């Protein structure tokens, strides 16, 4: 009895500290960006001498690319197999997630080509020194994806080799069945370590952002600020249009539910996400609210947690727009063929890019390094404004998963439609007493993979039991 009383007393305290520290980091990045821009305008020569600071930070991010990609892809393939075992719900959800995330990536490319973020901002002389390599044919390119050894793919810096080996390992673990579960758990622990290191690296983001922004503004003047503002505004407008038009239209046509009524119902969760810049903070609340809305527990238990790894619409838009911004700013815009190959890479690599501060940045750097290594240093520009775009990413990801849950519930006929109208009409309000708001708001991102597994298990058991009857 005594032991059960101790657990709830000891857990909230450290989580609350983490939340507060994240707010300090957010404020520090904003202050660093402003100070770096001011320094670049006032003392351009001195500001340009600070370039190694930004370069060092990008080097740390670059160091984390291979392990982040490897762990997320291996565990992602395992999650696909796990979700597929729940039958119709899992298969339908995964199909929808792949379609929408691909559409979001494509939308980011289209908008990026329309607004040309980074145009007029020439920072081509600030990149890494990359050895010139001869352009070989398709056969040589494909052969180059195969690493010399299994482990060399994690050390040579070739992200396509890392992706190739991660996919092989993931599928091999699937074939191993129950025997592969301990290995998957081990990789999950390694992922926790990798993300912990990444979080530590991100605490240097204010310093890195200060050096990178100061150097760029010192070299290009006000044009750098205009270009970054163009990217941010364009990204926010794209996210708003994606939610209101794309998701809203799909939701209305398929279910008859108004997107704005659904967003009003999730208003408290939006405030929570906006204050933490993380959609993961609202994961338990979204599960509870979707069940209260009238979607069955099996559908919610599969769709919501799986969507948090595979349905990252806001992150997808961000990755492609940011890639175009960096390429244009570096003076070497991506050709159409490069954009398409980048999109294909991001379709796979973006899975699991949310949930941990800096993971999206590492995925962006990985995508650029796999196609154009000379552009990686340009990610330093994104570091300065990444935090400004994180709220839009998180809110878009969250809305996409809420819409997906209602859609999957409708398509599988696992939703109480009259109850939906009652709830969204305000006649059947959600009982906040059923949720421990303090505990929910203090959920940490690194616990997401475990929470996904825990949430999916009851749904899988329920569905299996139903199939036996």
The CA-based angle 439-443-445, given to 5 degrees, is 180
Q: Which domain covers residue 118, as residue numbers?
A: 28-468
In a domain, 22, yes or no: no
- How many domains does one find in the chain? 1
pLDDT in tens, the chain (469 residues): 444 444 444 444 444 444 445 567 767 877 887 888 888 888 888 888 887 887 787 778 777 777 877 887 777 666 665 555 556 777 788 889 888 888 988 888 888 888 877 666 655 544 434 333 344 445 665 676 788 777 777 777 666 777 778 888 888 887 887 888 888 888 888 888 887 887 787 788 788 878 877 877 777 677 777 878 888 888 999 999 999 999 999 999 999 999 999 999 998 888 877 765 667 667 778 888 998 999 888 888 778 877 877 788 888 888 888 888 888 877 777 788 778 877 877 776 665 555 455 566 777 777 777 777 777 777 777 776 777 787 788 889 899 999 999 999 999 888 899 999 999 988 888 877 665 444 433 333 344 444 444 444 444 443 344 434 4
Global pTM reads 0.67
Task: Tell me whether residue 174 is in a domain.
Answer: yes
- Within a domain: residue 315? yes
Q: What is the CATH number of the domain that holds 447?
A: 1.10.3860
Residue 9 forms part of a structural domain: no
Residues 6+ apart with CB under 8 A from 156: 147, 148
At 203, list the tokens: 């605490």
Token reading at 269: 């969760």
Q: How far apart are the first and last CA of the chain?
A: 39
Residue 1 covered by a domain: no
Angle between helices 448-468 and 283-293 (to 10 degrees): 30
d(CA 47, CA 44): 5
Per the document, the length of the chain is 469
Q: Is residue 197 part of a domain?
A: yes
Task: Say if CB 108 and CB 318 are below 8 A apart.
Answer: yes
Q: Which pLDDT score is estimated for 244?
A: 93
Give the residues across from 295 on adjacent strands. Answer: 415
CA–CA distance from 80 to each of 270, 306, 332, 375 (Å)? 28, 8, 37, 32
Q: Residue 181 falls within a domain, yes or no? A: yes
CB-CB contact of 330 with 435 (8 Å): no
Q: Which residues pair with 302 in a beta bridge?
A: none
Q: Are 380 and 54 in contact (CB under 8 A)?
A: yes
In sequence order, which residues have a C-beta less than 8 Å from that of residue 323 and are 6 or more positions away? 112, 334, 342, 346, 364, 367, 368
Q: Can you give the chain as a three-state secondary structure string?
A: CHHHHHHHHHCHHHHHHHHHHHHHHHHHHHHHHHHHHHHHHHCHHHHHCCHHHHHHHHHHHHHHHHHHHHHHHHHHHHHHHHHHCCCHHHHHHHHHHHHHHHHHHHHHHHHHHHHCCCCCCCCHHHCCCCCCCCCCCHHHHHHHCCCCCCCHHHCCCCHHHHHHHHHHHHHHHHHHHHHHHHHHHHHHHHHHHHHHHHHHHHCCHHHHHHHHHHHHHHHHCHHHHHHHHHHHHHHHHHHHHHHHHHHHHHHHHHHCCCHHHHHHHCHHHHHHHHHHCCHHHHHHHHHHHHHHHCECHHHHHHHHHHHHHHCCHHHHHHHHHHHHHHHHHCCCCCCHHHHHHHHHHHHHHCCCCCCCCCHHHHHHHHHHHHHCHHHHHHHHHHHHHHHHHHHHHHHHHHHHHHHHHHHHHHHCCCECHHHHHHHHCCCCCCCHHHCCHHHHHCCCHHHHHHHHHHHHHHHHHHHHHHHHC
15 located within any domain: no
CA distances from 322 to 123, 130, 197, 211 (A): 15, 21, 24, 19
Token digits for 379? 């990610």
Structure tokens at 278: 């993380």
The tokens of 151 are what?
């482990």
Phi, psi of 295 (to 5 degrees): -85, 140
Contact 328, 94 (CB under 8 A): no
Q: What is the pLDDT of residue 20?
A: 44
* Amino acid 251: pLDDT: 93
The angle formed by the CA atoms of residues 272, 277 and 278, to the nearest 5 degrees, is 80
Q: What phi and psi, each to the nearest 5 degrees, are found at residue 415?
A: -140, 140
Name which of 251, 210, 194 is nearest 411 in CA terms. Answer: 251
pLDDT value at position 239?
A: 93
Nearest Cα residue to 351 out of 31, 12, 68: 68
**Structure confidence at residue 344 (pLDDT):** 77
């Amino acid at each position: 009895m005594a032991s059960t009383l101790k657990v709830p007393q000891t857990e909230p305290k450290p989580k609350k500290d983490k939340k507060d520290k994240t707010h300090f980091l957010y404020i520090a990045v904003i202050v660093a960006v402003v100070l770096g821009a001011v320094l670049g305008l006032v003392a351009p020569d001195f500001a340009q001498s600070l370039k190694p600071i930004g370069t060092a930070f990008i080097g740390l991010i670059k160091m984390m690319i291979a392990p982040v990609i490897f762990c997320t892809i291996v565990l992602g393939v395992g999650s696909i197999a796990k979700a597929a075992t729940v039958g119709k719900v899992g298969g339908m959800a995964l199909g929808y997630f792949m379609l929408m995330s691909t559409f979001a990536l494509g939308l980011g490319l289209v908008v990026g080509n329309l607004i040309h973020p980074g145009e007029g901002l020439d920072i081509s002389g600030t990149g890494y020194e990359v050895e010139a390599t001869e352009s070989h044919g398709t056969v040589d390119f494909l052969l180059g994806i195969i690493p010399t050894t299994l482990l060399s793919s994690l050390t040579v810096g070739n992200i396509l080799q890392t992706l190739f080996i991660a996919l092989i390992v993931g599928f091999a673990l699937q074939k191993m069945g129950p025997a592969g579960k301990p290995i998957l758990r081990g990789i999950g622990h390694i992922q926790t370590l990798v993300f912990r290191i990444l979080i530590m690296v991100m605490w240097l983001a204010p310093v890195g952002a200060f050096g990178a922004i100061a150097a760029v503004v010192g070299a290009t003047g006000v044009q750098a600020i205009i270009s970054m503002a163009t990217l941010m505004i364009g990204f926010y407008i794209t996210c708003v249009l994606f939610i209101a038009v794309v998701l809203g239209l799909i939701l209305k046509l398929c279910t008859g539910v108004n997107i704005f009524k659904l967003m009003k119902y999730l208003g408290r969760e939006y405030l929570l996400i906006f204050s933490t810049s993380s959609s993961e903070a609202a994961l338990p609340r979204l599960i509870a609210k979707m069940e209260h809305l009238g979607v069955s527990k099996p559908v919610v238990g599969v769709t919501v947690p799986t969507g948090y790894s595979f349905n990252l619409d806001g992150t997808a838009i961000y990755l492609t727009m940011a890639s175009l911004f960096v390429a244009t700013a570096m003076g070497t815009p991506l050709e159409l063929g490069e954009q398409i190959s980048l999109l294909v890479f991001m379709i796979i690599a973006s899975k699991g890019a949310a949930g941990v501060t800096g993971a999206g940045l590492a995925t962006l750097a990985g995508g650029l390094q796999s196609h154009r290594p000379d552009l990686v240093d340009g990610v330093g520009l994104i570091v300065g404004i990444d935090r400004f775009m994180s709220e839009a990413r998180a809110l878009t990801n969250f809305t996409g998963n809420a819409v997906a849950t209602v859609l999957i519930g409708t398509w599988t006929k696992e939703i109480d439609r009259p109850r939906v109208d009652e709830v969204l009409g305000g006649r059947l309000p959600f009982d906040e007493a059923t949720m421990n708001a303090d505990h929910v708001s203090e959920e940490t991102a690194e616990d997401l993979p475990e929470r996904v597994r825990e949430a999916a298990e009851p749904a899988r058991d329920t569905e299996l039991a139903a199939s036996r009857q």
